[in-house]
Amino acid sequence: MSANIIDGKAFALALRERIAVQVSDFVSAAGRKPGLAVVLVGEDPASAVYVRSKGKATVAAGMASFEHRLPADVSQDDLLALVDTLNADPAVDGILVQLPLPGHLDELAVTTRIDPDKDVDGFHPVNAGRLATGLEGFVPCTPLGCVMLLKDQLGDLTGLDAVVIGRSNIVGKPMAQLLLKESCTVTIAHSRTRDLSSVVKRADIVVAAVGRPEMVKGEWIKPGATVIDVGINRTATGLVGDVDFGGAASVAGAITPVPGGVGPMTIAVLLRNTLVSAARRDGVAIDEAAL
């Protein structure tokens, strides 16, 4: 058997087209564009690439992009002052401070300073709490993108056994909450989990978000399972995920490739969250279900 390869790139492109249509409707109704502010501190090349593609995608969707570049040695106070300015700016619906920040800056303090109702990354503890309690808020982009791919692949997820490998605040924990909301039976595994291969073996859905190149082996996968690989690891042989793709693809029912799987979904969902924020802030109705 050979797995269906989940084309996240194509799914993300189609999602971005649906978003652009609704952005255009929003502009007609509200008389302004949704706006996304992205803050980049320092010169980390990978972060600079991400920020540039976020800006381009924002403009391509018909939204306003505000890019703020601060020097690597910016003070905590100056960064917080910029966040305050963006919180108060009515043209800004979404604020994203690109992580990681240089070591002298306090990421939690910065994330927590963002107005939760402009927190399109969904990293603010208020949004984590809203997700955990079923309140409306913002959900982190990468896990939300993973759930979209899973529902597209499998339809209703009710009752399925899902194993999330990784317990980060950005991916693992919100991923588990979202799968629980879809009525999966959810296990969160991590670096200290005993007999990880047996835990993974019983899963109908495996989400790998550990940041270790090709750690999840094909023999661990239950035949027919759906495998979502969130890992992006740069190795001597190129970009690889957290899953041994070749091994897993011969056993799984469906699997996301790296690159071209989960990665493109993150920016698409960021645009979605920004549109949703603008609509909520201006009281304009949009078709969230179509996004």
**Closest to ligand GUN by CB, 95 or 251:** 95
- Is 121 an active-site residue? yes
What minimum distance in Å lies between the beta carbon of 221 and ligand GUN? 26
In 3-state terms the chain splits into helix, strand, coil percentages (rounded to 5) of 45, 15, 40
Q: Which of 33, 54, 173, 222 is catalytic?
A: 54
And the tokens for 254?
A: 């469906």
**Closest to ligand GUN by CB, 46 or 290:** 46
How many alpha carbons lie under 13 Å from residue 277 in its C-beta half-sphere? Answer: 31
Binding segment for ligand GUN among 96-104, 180-188, 197-205, 209-217 (CB under 6 A)?
96-104
**Closest to ligand GUN by CB, 144 or 205:** 144
What minimum distance in Å lies between the beta carbon of 97 and ligand GUN? 6
Cβ contact 169:180 at 8 Å: no
DSSP class of residue 6 equals P
What minimum distance in Å lies between the beta carbon of 28 and ligand GUN? 30
Residue 214 interacts with ligand GUN (CB under 6 A)? no
As to burial, measured by CB atoms within 10 angstroms (0-12 exposed, 13-18 middle, 19+ buried), residue 287 is exposed
Residue 92 interacts with ligand GUN (CB under 6 A)? no
Q: Which of 22, 33, 93, 98 is catalytic?
A: 98
Among positions 12, 40, 82, 96, the unique one binding ligand GUN when judged by CB under 6 A:
96
Q: Determine the Cα–Cα distance for residues 138 and 274; give it in Å rounded to an integer.
A: 10
- Torsion angle, alpha carbons of 57, 61, 65, 69, to 10: -10
- Is 22 an active-site residue? no
Cα dist. 123→111, 129, 177, 226 in Å? 7, 10, 14, 27
Site pattern 237..256 for ligand GUN (x: CB under 6 A)? --------------------
Residue 97 interacts with ligand GUN (CB under 6 A)? yes
Among positions 29, 60, 99, 154, the unique one binding ligand GUN when judged by CB under 6 A:
99
Q: What angle do CA 83, 87, 90 make, to 5 degrees?
A: 135
